[in-house]
Amino acid sequence: MEPFRAITAVAADLDRSNVDTDLIIPKQFLKRIDRDGYGAHLFNDLRFREDGSEDPSFVLNAPRFKGAGVLVSLDNFGCGSSREHAAWAIRDYGFRAVVASGFADIFSGNSLKNGLLLVRLPLADVKDLIGRIKANEGYELSVDLEGQEIAGSDGWRRGFEMDPFRREKLLKGQDDIDATLELEDRIAAYERAHAEPWQAALPERDPGARDR
């Protein structure tokens, strides 16, 4: 997984609350077994008309937001079903961070596992930021995970809090398996110290076996 330290990118505003996972990636697209390709269907029911053409009224179809890397929304982002595909779709589309005043718990966990940074700010700050994005074409946000700060291209600036363990995993680019393997020596030592007599006769496991 790609580490996240700091980015600067055009910000796009999704000015609504309760953006659920079915809106992020509708159920009819959950047929792939890998993580790639979901970005084409991100917010499908908002981006496209019934005939498949782009709906010009939807924010991400505006030319000014092409290539945006930070998405800013309101409260309870990622609510609804537990589908991990929602985080896959946001990342595959090109977003590295989402800023909102609240996130659903399961979506938060899925985002962490896929290198998507979620920045939680007070609702008043998020509404202020959305207003700045609407008023300034090409508005950029710099998101610094190491310094835990987010800054706008007009001088707007806020600090943000994040769980230290989650922050460290994103900085290192680790998913749950990577974080566990980092402790492999300690796990093996614990297993040896608590082994039953019959287990002592078993051959030692080859650490490289998982890669073959």
Give me the DSSP letters along the chain. Answer: ----SEEEEEEEE---S--BHHHHS-GGGTT-SSSTTGGGGTTHHHHB-TTS-B-TTSGGGSGGGTT--EEE--SSBTBSS--THHHHHHHHHT--EEEES-B-HHHHHHHHHTT-EEEE--HHHHHHHHHHHHHSTT-EEEEETTTTEEEETTS-EEE----HHHHHHHHHT--HHHHHHTTHHHHHHHHHHT--GGGGGSPPP-GGGGG-
Backbone angles phi, psi at 207, to 5 degrees: -55, -30
CA angle, 157 as apex, 129 and 79 as ends, to 5°? 45
Provide the domain limits for residue 12: 6-174
- Residues 168-208: pLDDT tens digits? 999 998 776 666 666 677 777 777 777 766 655 656 666 55
Give me the pLDDT at residue 208, please: 57
pLDDT in tens, 123-151: 999 999 999 999 999 999 999 999 999 99
Q: Is 201 inside any structural domain? A: no
CATH number, residue 14? 3.20.19.10
Chain mean pLDDT for the chain? 90
Residue 85 lies in a domain: yes
pLDDT in tens, 152-172: 999 999 999 999 999 999 999
Residue 212 has a pLDDT of: 47
Whether 199 is covered by a domain: the verdict is no
Classify residue 71: in a domain, yes or no.
yes
Spatial separation of the C-alpha atoms in residues 143 and 118, rounded to whole Å: 10
Number of domains in the chain: 1
Q: Is residue 192 domain-resident?
A: no
Separation between Cα atoms, residue 77 and residue 110, nearest integer Å: 13
Q: Which of 126, 114, 51, 128 is nearest to 86 (CA)?
A: 114
